[in-house]
Structure 1
C-alpha cells in the first residue's frame, strides 16, 4: 500500500515518463511473445529481430506521444480516450508492417494481428489497472453510496463519482424491471426492496437520488420509503437547472422540503403573469422580504418600464436593490429599478412616491407577519398592518393607481391571533375601497399558506436544530399547515392580480395540509438519523412538544365561506366573502385608531371582537409592556367571539372607556 501511495504522489511529469517506459517495454514484450508463439525463432535470435523490436517500441511511444495519449489523466479515462489509444496502437502495427517490408519481410504476416491483439490488451490493460489501483488507494477516504435511478442522470452521476471525489458508487437502485439484475456503468442494478439489505451488506452511507425529471408526487413516495431506512439522502439538481446550465449533475445537495410535500408547482400562464407589469410602472412594498423579493425578481423578468422597491429596512432594501441592478445589467434589460427607504406607515410619503413615479400597479407585501411577535406587540401590529395598509390604499386611490394587489394569509380566516385579525381587517379595507365609487383603482387580495424558506418558516429552524443534535421543537403533535414555495407564492400573486375585476379574494389550491410532526420526523430520518421516542429510546434526535404559542391555531383554513368560484387558472380559486361597507368601516377605524394612539390594549381587542372578522382569541393579553403596567390578571379575554363582548368586558370589571 505504501508503494502505491508513493506512486500516486509522484509529480505528473515523472508519472508520464514511467508510463512511456512501461509502454515501450510492453510493445517490445508483445512483439517478442508473438514471434515466439508463431515459431519465428530465426528472426527472434538474429540482429533483424532486435532491430524490429527496438524500432517498433520506440516508434510506438513516439506515435502515442504525438497523439496526446500521455496527456490523458488516467483516472478520467473514458471510451473516447481508449479509442484514441487504440488508433495509436493501430498505427504502431502499420509501422511494424512497413518496417518489415523495408527489412525484406523477415517476419511472416501472421505475426502482425497477434502482435496487435497482444499490444492492445497489454497497453490498455495497464491503464485500466492503474486507474483501478488509484481508485482503490482512495477507497478508505470515500463514502460508499448507492444511486437511486439508473437513467441518464444516474449514469452521468456514476461516471462523475468514479473519477474521484467524496463518494464511491457501489450499486444502482431502480424500480424499472427492465434494468434490474443488469450492469450499468459497471454497477449492479437492484430493486428498491433490496435497499435495506444492500445498506447492511455494502456498508452504504448515503443514497443519491438521481431522478431529476420525476414529478414531485413520485419523489415524495420514494422519499417516504427512504425515510424509514434512516440513511442520509441527497439529490442532484432538477432537470430545469441541469438543462439551463445553472447546475451540473454532480452538484449533490440536501433533499428539498418541496420533495417531501410532493405537490407539483403552480402552472404559469404567461398572458396573466405579465398583464399588469409589461411596460408599466410597478411598485412592491416589503421588497426586502421573502415574498416581496421574489415578486421583484419575477416582475423584472416581465419587462416593466420601472420597478419601485419600498422597504423600511435599510439592509434588506440594499440587498434586493443590488441583486436586481445586477440582474438588469446581466440581462441587458431596459427596465429601471429605484429603491425607496420608507415605511408604509408614512402615508404622505407613500403618496409622494406614487405621484413622483406615476405608479400603475402596486403589490403590497409589507406587513408584520410573525404571529407571536405581533401578539406581543399589539399596538405596533395594528399601526403597521392596519393603518399602514389603509394609508397606502387611500394613497393609491388618490394617485389613480390602476391595480392594487394585497398579499394576505390563511391566518386571516377565522383568526385566533392579532396578526391574522389585522390581515382580515386589511382585506375588509380593500374590499370596501373596491366597492366605493367612484374609484379607478382595482383592488384584490391573494391569500395563501406558509411559505417554505421564508424568515419565519419552520424548515430552516428544524435544519438548524438537527445540525446541532436536537431536540427538534414542535408546538403540538397534531398541528398541520399548508405549504408552498416562495416562487409559487409570487407566481400566484402576479397571476391572480391580473384576473381581478375588483374586491376578490384569491386562494391557491394547495393540496393537503402537512402534519408538522411528520415533516420534522422525515427531515431527521433523511439526514441519516433516527427519531428518539418510546419505540426507539436509543434514537439520535428527540422531537419535543412545546405547546401552542399565543394565538396559534392547530389547523389553518384558506376560505371563510362556501361560495367558491373557479377562475381561468386551474389552481386558483376566488370567493366573494363577507364585506363591510366603507361608511361603517370608516367609523370603526376611527375608534380603533384612537385606541391604538393611546395604547388601550383591551379596547383594541374589544373592537377586533366587534368587527366582522370572526376573531376567536384563545389566550391572554401577552404584550409585555401592557403586562408590566397592569399585571396578567386583567389580561384574560373570552374566546367565544363578538356575541360575548359585553360579557367579557363586564367579567373583567372594566369599562371600554378606561385607558386599558
Structure 2
C-alpha cells in the first residue's frame, strides 16, 4: 500500500478506532521492550517462566493507565508538537517507577528478581518507542499528504507583546515563517523572542534581500506615524507586501484575533494618530434617544449611522433621497441591534416631509449630514448646490426648532472658513443659519435645546475626497493628476470622524462651532506618492524614468484654495474635555442679519440667475464676516493653536 493509501485509510477510520490502534501499539511495544531487555541482559533468546511473564505483562498494564491520565491518547498526531516529548518522558518515567516498586514487592514474596539493567533499558526503550511511534505516524501522515506550498517568509516590525503573540499565531497557522523581528531599541537588538532574532530596523533592506522576505507586518501601534511612513517608504523599492496588526485596544476588546492582520492602508500613513473614543461621550447624546440622521446614505452620514447604532438609540431614523444607498445602509444597520429603524426616502428641502417625520417620531437629536460636497460639481451647478446646502439646511433647522428636537448638530467643513468655492460658501451659510436659529431656541427654552456645528477637513474615502479619484487613476495605469505641487489638506479616517462628531454633540453648548483637530496638513503630492507605493507600484519621474505611474500637475481650478483652514481666529480656540475636539471663539451678534440675507438669497434663487446667486452668496458673507474675511492670520494666533494642540 502506498503512503497516500495508508494516509487515506487512517484518515477514514473513526477516532475510537485510531485510539485503539495506538493503544495496541503501546501494549505490544512495551511488552517487546521488556522481553528484548531480558534477551540483551542474558545474551540469549530468553524464555521467561511464569513469574517473569507476569512481570513482563505488568509493564504495559501499569503504563497504559498512566498514559491515559497524562493525555497521550487525546492528541491529534498530525498536529503533534515537539513539546509533547516532555509529557511522554514524564509518563514513561512514572510508569517505570511504579513497575519497579511492584518488582520490589514481588521480591519480598520470593519471586525471582529483575536485574537493574533491565529497568534502565525498559525506561530508555519505552521513551524511544512511545515517542517514535507517535512522531513516526505524524511523519507518515505528513508524507502521505500533497507536498505543501512554500511558506511565506515574514519579518515583523516590532518586538513587544503583540509582535510575540503574532509570531506564535503565525507559527501555529503553519503558512508563514517568521524570520526576524525589527526594533529600534538597542537593548533588544541581537536578542531572541521565541527563538527568532531581533534585528535593527536600519538593516531592513539587507534582511529582505538576503532572506528572501515576502512580507513585512507592522505589529507595533506605539510607533509614530512619521516612523511608520519612513518604514513604508524604505520598503517601496522592494517587492514585499506590507500589512499591519490592528490596534491593541481593538484586540483587547475582542474585535479581532491576534492572528488577524490586514493590508496597510492610507489611513495608517496620515500625519496624525487617532485617539480612542470616549465611551461615555459616545453614549450620552445617543443612548435611549430618538435620532434622525439626514444624508444617511452618504459617506459621512453612513459612518455616523454606524456609530450611533452601536450606542443603543431608542429609535434611529434615516433620511436620504438616494434610494439604493438608503436601502443598503438600512440593511447593514439591521444587525446592530433590536432598536426600531425607520428609512425615510425624501429631500431635506421638503418641509412637509420633515415636519411629519419630526412630529410622528418625536425626534430628540438631529445629525444634519446631508449636503453636496464635490467642490467642482457644485461650482458647475450653483443653483442646485445653494438650494440644497443652504435652503435645505434652513428647512431642516426651522422644522427642528418648531418640533421636539433638543440637540441639533450640523456637519460643516473647513472650506467654510474664508470660502472661495460655492460649496464652501454654502457651508458657511449653513453655520450661520444653525447659529441664528440656535440662539432663538436657546432664548425660548434655555439650555435644554442645543444647536451646534462640527467643522473638520477631508475624510479619507468619502465621496468628496481626492482619495477615490487617485485610486481610480492608479488602477487605470495613471497618470495621477494634481492641481498644485504645494497643495495641502487636512485628513482623518471616516470612522474617527463619525465618532468625533457624536462626541462633539455631547460636548457642545448652544451656538457652538466645534472643531476636530486634524493634526498637521498633508501635502497632496505626498498622499499621491504613498497611494502609488501602497498599490505596489513606483512613481515615474526624472529620477526614475522606468517607474509605473506618472504624477502630473494640471493647475488649480478657479474656486480652489491652496491650503484649507479650520479657524477664523485661532487665538480664540479653547480646549474641551476631549483632546481632539476644540471650541471656536464665540461670535456675538454676527448672526443677527441672517433672515435678511436669506431673503435676498432666496429671491436670487427664484430668479434662476446663477450670476446673481453667486453675487449675493459671497457679498452677503463678506459683509457678515467682514472683520474676518479681510484679516490675515496673525503669527501669534498660529502659535497659540499649535500650543493648544500639543497641550490637548
Distance 2:242 2:456 in 1: 30
The aligned residue for residue 12 of structure 1 is: 11
Q: Which shows bigger deviation, 435-444 or 304-313?
A: 435-444
Cα distance in 2 for residues equivalent to 1:291 and 1:413 = 20
Q: Describe the superposition over 1:49-101 as per-residue Cα deviations: whole angstroms up to 9, x where unpaired.
A: 99788986899789757866465344633466445444443455357647867
Q: How many Å separate the matches in 2 of 1:465 and 1:515?
A: 18
Question: Comparing 136-145 with 199-208, which one deviates more in the overlay?
Answer: 136-145
What residue ranges of structure 2 are gaps of 5+ in the alignment?
631-648
Query: Tell me, which stretches of 5 or more residues in structure 1 are unaligned?
Result: 330-334, 617-640, 643-660
Q: Please, what TM-score do these two structures have when normalized by structure 1?
A: 0.79
Is 2:571 aligned against 1:567?
no
- 8 Å Cα contact 2:590/2:624 also seen in 1: no
> Cα 1:74–1:388, aligned 2, differ >3 Å: closer, same or farther?
same
Aligned equivalent of 2:202: 193
SS at match of 2:260: coil
Within-5 A mapping of 1:14-33:
none
Q: Deviations over 1:265-314 (max 9, x none)?
A: 24645554444434433322122223223323333444443332222222
Aligned-residue offset at 1:366 = 0.9
CA contact (8 A) 1:75 1:163 kept: no
Partner of 2:633: none
Instruction: Tell me the distance in 2 between the aligned counterparts of 1:614 and 1:125.
Output: 90
**Residue 255 of structure 1: aligned partner:** 264
Q: What secondary structure sits across from 1:392 in the alignment?
A: helix
Which residue number corresponds to residue 112 of structure 1? 119
Aligned residue for 2:334, secondary structure, equals helix
Contact 1:231 1:529 in 2 (8 A): no
1:151 aligns with 2:160: yes
Do residues 311 (structure 1) and 310 (structure 2) align?
no
1:434-484 per-residue CA deviation (whole Å, 9 max, x = no partner) reads 344754443211100111232343445545655665554444432221111
Give the corresponding residue for 2:212. 203
Q: 1:275 to 1:156 in 2, by over 3 A?
A: closer
Counterpart of 1:239 (choices 248, 266, 271) is 248
Check if 1:347 corresponds to 2:351: yes
Change (3 A) 1:168 1:427: same
Map 1:153-232 onto structure 2 (within 5 A): 153-164=162-173, 166-211=175-220, 219=228, 222-227=231-236, 229=238, 231-232=240-241
Cα distance in 2, alignment partners of residues 192 and 344 from structure 1: 54
Find the counterpart in structure 1 of residue 294 from structure 2.
Answer: 285
Q: Counterpart of 2:116 in 1: which secondary structure?
A: coil
Distance 1:433 1:175 in 2: 55
Q: 1:337-486 counterparts in 2 under 5 A?
A: 337-436=341-440, 438-440=443-445, 441-463=449-471, 466=474, 470-486=478-494
Q: Distance in 1 between matches of 2:147 and 2:547?
A: 32
Post-superposition shift, 1:205? 0.9
Of residues 524, 528, 532, the one that matches 1:524 is: 532
Q: Distance in 2 between matches of 1:490 and 1:166?
A: 37
Compared CA separation, residues 11 and 189, structure 1 to 2 (3 A): farther
Partner of 1:619: none
Query: For residues 213 and 439 of structure 2, what CA distance do their matches in structure 1 show?
Result: 64
Match of 2:307 in 1: 298
Question: 1:142 maps to what in 2?
Answer: 151
Q: Measure the CA separation in 1 of the matches of 2:428 and 2:132.
A: 74
Is the 1:218–1:262 Cα contact (8 Å) retained in structure 2?
no
Cα–Cα, structure 1 residues 577 and 170, in superposed 2: closer, same or farther, change >3 Å? same
Q: d(CA) in 2 for partners of 1:350 and 1:563?
A: 39
- TM-score (norm: length of structure 2): 0.80
**1:607 aligned to 2:611?**
no
C-alpha contact 2:156 2:178 (8 A) present in aligned 1: yes
1:76 aligns with 2:75: no
What secondary structure sits across from 1:45 in the alignment?
Answer: coil
Deviations 1:204-236 (A, max 9, x none): 111122235667666556445545656321122
Q: Distance in 2 between matches of 1:85 and 1:64?
A: 8
RMSD over equivalenced CA pairs, Å: 4.1
Alpha-carbon spacing, 1:32–1:531, altered in 2? closer, same or farther (3 Å): farther
Select the residue among 534, 537, 541 that pairs with 2:545.
Answer: 537
| Deviating more after overlay: 441-450 vs 114-123 | 114-123
Task: Find 1:595's aligned residue among 588, 598, 604.
Answer: 604
Match of 2:506 in 1: 498
Q: Secondary structure at the match of 1:173?
A: strand
Q: Does the aligned pair in 2 maintain the 1:161–1:168 contact within 8 Å?
A: yes
Q: Quote the Cα distance in structure 1 between the aligned partners of 2:79 and 2:248.
A: 25
What does residue 555 of structure 1 align with? 563
